[in-house]
A = this chain, B = another copy of it.
Amino acid sequence: MGGELRYMEERPVDDPREPAKGIEQAKDLLRSFETRAKRRRRPLYGIGVSFPGAVDPRTGDCLLWAESGWKRFPLARSLMEAMDIPVLLEEDVRAEALGEFWFGEGQGVDSLVLLKLARGVGAGVVLEQRPYRGVNGLAGEVGHITVDPYGDRCSCGRVGCLETKVSVPAVLRKARELLKKNPDSPLAREELSLESIYRAAREGEKVAREVLEQLVAFTKVALEIVVHAYDPDIIVLSGAVVEAEGADILLNNVQLGDFPVEVRVDVRVSSFGKHRGIIGAAASVLHRLIVDPQAIEG
């Protein structure tokens, strides 16, 4: 299977805290794509939307988009109004998993889990060649599994979630915490980032080594959670934590292998870069057209 990005247009949203306004802007963008396709006599089969918040898998309602303060909102329905073609809404990590399944690292496999370690942590799950969403749309929310009952408080309100260990903010917070106790560290003299931490760790700097050590341990925990829950053919890692410059020092140190039985699992890093959202959205349209056509009716 192949695909090509033919045209792209980016528009910032005026006020991300206002769902109704954002939707109007999005509709405007969708209509412009539709018009453009008609003018060029190119068939447009559907519009895929990769959405960064929680979605009700039955209704396509937005349930929560914490970052922008959205609560329940009829997202799919609102986007669909006034469109002549289907609009397919998928949560971003799930869409990205479908992107890997159709166009990326997971082509031809039966089961794939995309594990994203970014600002948040979550998994997009494709089992037996279908995206798996769960009853409430929570399947794959592995970032909120408790991995340290004595750990830090998570943005979700609970303590010691995986996200408090392997997300970008978690890594930076841990580094800052250690730098307070080690103000003479050379790391304290530069702007703190994943790149600077990975670089310093490679040079053997103490604080960075300690941050890396914890990150290695919990990245291993994260991968083992995926294996113990889904046992997929392939785990595709994505997100800044594994894609930042120098992240190979993390990946080279994560050793999977303490399973009671021999485990075949292919662990790779996504190669999609910043267009992963667009590719994932397109893949979700393709997936429903080919695999799940009845889902496209509504």
| A interface residues with partner B (beta carbon < 8 Å) | 54, 63-64, 66, 110-111, 127, 132-142, 144-150, 156-158, 217-218, 221, 224-225, 227-233, 258-265
A260 close to B66 (CB less than 8 A): yes
B138 close to A227 (CB less than 8 A): yes
B228 close to A135 (CB less than 8 A): no
20 CB < 8 A contacts A-B: A54-B261, A66-B260, A111-B134, A111-B135, A127-B127, A133-B231, A134-B231, A135-B265, A136-B261, A136-B264, A137-B231, A137-B261, A139-B229, A142-B228, A145-B229, A146-B147, A147-B149, A149-B221, A156-B258, A225-B229
Please report whether the interface of chain A is mostly helix, strand, loop or mixed according to DSSP.
loop
A228 close to B148 (CB less than 8 A): no
Q: How many copies does the complex hold?
A: 2
B231 close to A139 (CB less than 8 A): yes
B66 close to A135 (CB less than 8 A): no
B66 close to A141 (CB less than 8 A): no
A230 close to B231 (CB less than 8 A): no
**Other 19 A-B pairs with CB < 8 A, given A140-B228, A140-B229, A229-B230:** A54-B260, A66-B260, A133-B231, A134-B232, A136-B262, A136-B265, A137-B261, A141-B228, A142-B228, A144-B224, A145-B221, A145-B225, A146-B221, A146-B225, A148-B150, A149-B218, A150-B150, A156-B260, A229-B229
